[in-house]
Chains A and B, each alone.
Chain A
């Protein structure tokens, strides 16, 4: 069995690593953002929503292009980081995390925002009336009631991050043994005619993604 060689293992491990880190970051930032967008009224609220959701509808290559302009060595933010530290995110596995983060973020934002908005206002008012602070109300009342949507968002985020290709290719490149996540490795394998290896990866990726979708369905059913 030469199918399961080191390259394939590396890509699987890298994909899981990138998707996990990106998902963790999205949970940390996405839920508070969704809460703000759902419950607070502030100037530019809908514009913020549109900007954060754009990567969902833009071609990933366009998202990747923006990321290069912002985070590249001569980028708006990238150049400052490079001057200070001599380090640049491009062509590193962290760049793959960044690409996955930006592209998968809207999935979390949309599902969590909808879930938080659908929480019955009466429960929230009761919580305030009984003297709970906003923090406590958010953590003990709103988020538990919106749990189903949030968990669905987390799983979708992970599945999307696993499958991210276009933006990743642009900012993290295709460096064998360093930034070739499963989708990128499959692209190279198909391009160079190594079909047997490509088959193995395609099947694995399909199974992993299918498994996560199954979890989403099951989880939402159980709660219903």
Chain B
């Protein structure tokens, strides 16, 4: 290949040009070199990237920290790179529906997985539940608030409450169920700040942009220095938070995807999930 490039350049800069054009030509030659060099660079990096195998895991953003640690164990063990795509389960589902090349889908609610299964995006036999979580009410750690319960959200001192957008964010749907359970939705409707995923709700509380927020217990645990858990929503107040995982149809690497799910459900995987506050399912 190098030979043909050099002869190509020779041809371009060859004897057909008169000397007056030579100087201009040199510039052109340099430019050509830069272009060819960048093309080589791009093809090289592209071929390196595809050299080792990789799986793409679309996961609910509340799983981020636990999954990243599990990924670090998975990669050397299976000689396969894990590319994570974190977001709200609803948005992840839309990406898969749009044909995103995803191998494993882990959502924060059964509803999104049910939808994926109904529309035929996942391989049904591979669907497994792997972890549970709980819903908590949090406030900024430095806040001087008398908030003691979910009912307290209707107090005048609470002006803004962050929660996931129930349309796309499972944590938002659970929050919505809790608000219904306590019959306070109408009282606090004007205060709700909907976020694009549960971590954004957490971040708003961390920054003190809102007076309270509804997130998962595991999210609150990550920010234990900056947020304070007021109360955990009772299990009867919302549908159980159980994370399902499944292999996406059209995966190019089913064994590697299977291995990832197996690792999640292994003793080692459970230990990591537990470390981040999840309740691994039996």
Q: Which secondary structure characterizes the binding site on chain B?
A: loop
Does residue B94 face the partner (Cβ distance < 8 Å to A)?
yes
Which residues does chain B contribute within 8 Å of A77, judged by CB atoms?
Answer: none
Q: Does the CB pair A176–B209 fall under 8 Å?
A: no
Shortest CB distance A80–B (Å): 15
Of A72, A174, A175, A176, which contacts B196 at CB under 8 A?
A174
Given A91-B193, A173-B193, A176-B194, check contact A192 B209 (CB 8 Å): no
Does residue A103 face the partner (Cβ distance < 8 Å to B)?
no
Q: Does the CB pair A192–B168 fall under 8 Å?
A: yes
Shortest CB distance B223–A (Å): 15
Encoded as 1 (CB less than 8 Å from any A CB) or 0, chain B from 28 to 64 comes to 0000000000000000000000000000000000000
Q: Does the CB pair A74–B208 fall under 8 Å?
A: yes
Encoded as 1 (CB less than 8 Å from any A CB) or 0, chain B from 169 to 205 comes to 0000000000000000000000011111000000000
Given A72-B209, A74-B207, check contact A173 B168 (CB 8 Å): no
Bound together, the chains give a CA A73 to CA B160 distance in angstroms of: 12
Encoded as 1 (CB less than 8 Å from any B CB) or 0, chain A from 175 to 186 comes to 110000000000
Q: Does the CB pair B167–A192 fall under 8 Å?
A: yes
Does residue B90 face the partner (Cβ distance < 8 Å to A)?
yes
Does residue A34 face the partner (Cβ distance < 8 Å to B)?
no
Given A91-B160, A191-B168, check contact A72 B193 (CB 8 Å): no
Shortest CB distance A165–B (Å): 12
Which residues does chain B contribute within 8 Å of A91, judged by CB atoms?
Answer: 160, 193, 209
Of B90, B160, B165, which contacts A174 at CB under 8 A?
B165
Of B94, B167, B195, B207, which contacts A173 at CB under 8 A?
B195
Which residues does chain A contribute within 8 Å of B160, judged by CB atoms?
Answer: 91
Of A169, A175, A192, which contacts B193 at CB under 8 A?
A175
Bound together, the chains give a CA A88 to CA B211 distance in angstroms of: 12
Which residues does chain A contribute within 8 Å of B274, judged by CB atoms?
Answer: none
Q: Does the CB pair A169–B194 fall under 8 Å?
A: no
Does residue B251 face the partner (Cβ distance < 8 Å to A)?
no
Does residue B129 face the partner (Cβ distance < 8 Å to A)?
no
Q: Does the CB pair B94–A72 fall under 8 Å?
A: no
Q: Does the CB pair A174–B94 fall under 8 Å?
A: no
Does residue A188 face the partner (Cβ distance < 8 Å to B)?
yes
Bound together, the chains give a CA A74 to CA B143 distance in angstroms of: 12
Shortest CB distance A74–B (Å): 5
Which residues does chain B contribute within 8 Å of A68, judged by CB atoms?
Answer: 207, 209
Given A91-B193, A173-B194, A174-B196, check contact A188 B209 (CB 8 Å): no
Shortest CB distance B218–A (Å): 23
Q: Does the CB pair B94–A73 fall under 8 Å?
A: no
Does residue B124 face the partner (Cβ distance < 8 Å to A)?
no
Does residue B279 face the partner (Cβ distance < 8 Å to A)?
no
Bound together, the chains give a CA A220 to CA B88 distance in angstroms of: 45
Does residue B232 face the partner (Cβ distance < 8 Å to A)?
no
Q: Does the CB pair B90–A192 fall under 8 Å?
A: yes
Nearest B residue to A74, CB-CB: B208
Shortest CB distance B236–A (Å): 27
Q: Does the CB pair B196–A90 fall under 8 Å?
A: no
18 additional A-B residue pairs with CB within 8 Å, beyond A90-B209, A188-B165: A68-B207, A68-B209, A72-B209, A73-B208, A73-B209, A74-B207, A74-B209, A88-B209, A91-B193, A91-B209, A169-B196, A174-B165, A175-B192, A175-B193, A188-B168, A191-B91, A191-B94, A192-B168
Residues of A within 8 A of B (CB): 68, 72-74, 88, 90-91, 169, 173-176, 188, 190-193
Considering the complex of A and B, which 4 residue pairs feature the smallest CB-CB distances, nearest first?
A: A192-B167, A191-B168, A74-B208, A73-B209
13 A-B pairs with CB atoms under 8 Å apart are A73-B208, A73-B209, A74-B208, A88-B209, A91-B160, A169-B196, A174-B194, A175-B194, A188-B167, A191-B88, A191-B91, A191-B165, A191-B167
Residues of B within 8 A of A (CB): 88, 90-91, 94, 160, 165, 167-168, 192-196, 207-209
